[in-house]
Structure 1
Amino acid sequence: MKMCAVALVLSLLAAAVWLGLTMTTPESSGGGTNPGGGGNPGGGEGDKECVPTLLPKADLGLCGNLEVFYMELGNISCKIIPKCNLYRQKITAWPQPIVKFPTAMDGAQYLLVMVDPDAPSRRDPRMKYWRHWVVSNIKAADIKAGNIRGNVITDYQPPTPPPTTGLHRYQFFVYLQGDRVISIPTKENRNRGAWKLQKFLQDHKLQNHETSTQFMTEHDGELTPPDY
């Protein structure tokens, strides 16, 4: 009788295990979508997620605690803009990003600079640093909140890398301005290319940047690149 009871219990356990396996779904076994990844709303490349990827190790040196947010993409600090969902086309038309420096010093005043050191290409950077954006007199409270307002010295220009020039780095630097008056001569400000960034910093006695970051993107689709 005892042997029969043991056999019955073992049979019930085996049935329970079999039932549990048949009820396991792809999501519960890790085969579903990543709850934090955002999926692939554009349908792009199969089941791959359409999200920016991290920069190569060689380009992580500028990665500080500066955050750069573009619509649809979120924070793209130290990342490569993906080709899917037409992001590389869209970024050429989007307005200026939200730039946040969370650890800005209360009461301080900052200068923001955005440049492309790879103009017209990384192999031939004869027009470095292409000046994309310069804003001075930014209050700490504003840059902490991502509200870049102050004295706009050079209007924001979106990334527009030319065709067949590969990935371009778009670099952001934040300097502690103090009570300095920052300006760029009108004639120099008309031409964005071949900007002498180091001379500009020396002329205004600006020390090393407080923080920095960069992202990369390249030409994809129809757009009008700047006249290099």
Structure 2
Amino acid sequence: MKLLVTVLVTLIPLLPSAWGSEASRTCIFQTLSKPDHEFCRGGLEVIYPEVGDVSCSYIPKCHGFRQKLSGEWGQPRVRYPHAKKSKKYVLVMVDPDSPNRANPQHRFWRHWLVTDILGSDLKVGKIRGKVLTNYSRPKPPRYSGYHRYQFRLYRQPPHEAIALSTEDQESLGTWNLKDFVEDFDLGHPVASTQFLTKSYKD
């Protein structure tokens, strides 16, 4: 009994520090506030390694998540549970805050554009289709604050062949998303979401 008491007395001072280190490893994903939260609708999921679904949240700096997002992780899994299996969809990923949210001269910066995505693939998070713009990792410049990275999912009209103009192919920035949507009669997104992040060096 005396030995047991001695062991407990020895361990007690160590316990708070153990709990503290566990707390320091906790990484909190803060949900977006209005009006940014209102952009998220339809149940679209954006899934990256280690963190899972980042829809409608800030990417925290802890565990190097912002750095991994900008330099390591490839394209996310994008899942839309409500997709119609036999329909086709168009996925757009853009940054409306280039070079910064206060002065977005290069809105919209196109990060990813895929057409002809089958609903059956979308339901399980596979983005397979015609890639018009390869995935480009989010890399906000230093001191430019938070950038929104928006995902918009459109139902693709039947038999509609979608393409970028020669001018748009040559540049990712200052893309006229509104004209693109109107040119191909995409209508309103069936689902949309976004996450916010900033330079990991800030």
Name 1:225's counterpart in structure 2: none
Across the aligned residues of Structure 1 and Structure 2, the Cα RMSD in angstroms comes to 2.1
Letter of the 1:214 counterpart:
Q
Note if 1:58 corresponds to 2:35. Answer: yes
Q: Which has the higher contact order (CA 8 A, sep 6+)?
A: 2
Q: Percent identity?
A: 42
Q: Which has the higher helix share?
A: 2
| Structure 1 residue 178 displacement after superposition | 2.5
Name 2:189's counterpart in structure 1: 209
Note if 1:82 corresponds to 2:60. Answer: yes
User: Between Structure 1 and Structure 2, how many residues are aligned?
Assistant: 183
Q: Normalization by structure 1: what TM-score? A: 0.76
1:96 and 1:61 mapped to 2: Cα distance?
24
Q: Normalization by structure 2: what TM-score? A: 0.85
Contact 1:51 1:73 in 2 (8 A): no
* Structure 2: runs of 5 or more not aligned: 1-17
Note if 1:133 corresponds to 2:112. Answer: yes
Cα offsets for 1:28-53 (capped at 9, x unmatched): xxxx98xxxxxx9xx6x953621321
SS in structure 2 at match of 1:87 = helix
Note if 1:185 corresponds to 2:185. Answer: no
Contact 1:112 1:174 in 2 (8 A): yes
| Structure 1 residue 187 displacement after superposition | 3.1
Q: Which of 83, 91, 97 matches 1:112?
A: 91
Contact 2:157 2:186 in 1 (8 A): no
Name 1:92's counterpart in structure 2: 70
Name 1:157's counterpart in structure 2: 136
Cα offsets for 1:91-128 (capped at 9, x unmatched): 01210000000001121100000000000000010000
| Structure 1 residue 206 displacement after superposition | 1.3
Letter of the 2:184 counterpart:
H
2:63 and 2:29 mapped to 1: Cα distance?
11
